[in-house]
Amino acid sequence: MSDFLATAVVGLGTYLFRAVFIVVLARRRIPDVVLVALKYVAPAVLGALIVALLTDSEGNVEIGVPEVAAFVAGGFIAHRTRSHVWTLVVGMAVYWVTLALI
């Protein structure tokens, strides 16, 4: 139940983000300081999330050669192809190969 509630709260919040200027604040502008800060929310959160995903329940970060190799390969492919599909395919392939070799 609490999982469903959490999902509903995120859904409601997301709707509010999407609707607030369209529905109520059409004539207001976002202050420039906020606009600049918003630009950096996504990269900061994604960087933090990637580390959080590799952290176990005791707070130890589990990152080894296969993970680093896959991140480097995936990041490179994402940069070159701008494609999530290729990023996923190459990243996972590098991960599996290095995992098998070590």
Partner 1 sequence: MSVVRAAARRGVIDALPLFVPAIPFGLVIGLAITNTGMNPFVGWSGSWLIFGGAAQLTLITLLGGGVAVAAAVGTALVVNARHLMYSAALAPTFQRQPRWFRWFGPYLLVDQLFALATIRLEDEPDSFRTYYLAAGALFWILWSVVVAVGLLLGPVVPEEWNLEFAIPILFIGLLVLGIEHWPELVAALVGAGVTYLAAGLPSRTGLLVGAFVGMIAGFVAERIRRE
Q: Where does this chain bind partner 1 (CB under 8 A)?
A: 2-4, 6-11, 13-15, 17-23, 25-26, 29-30, 35-55, 57, 59-61, 67, 70-71, 74-75, 78-79, 82-85, 87-88, 91-92, 95-96, 99
Between 49 and 65, name the residue whose CB sits nearer to partner 1.
49
| Min separation Cβ 77 and partner 1, Å | 8
Among 93, 96, 91, 94, residue whose Cα is nearest residue 75: 91
| Min separation Cβ 96 and partner 1, Å | 8
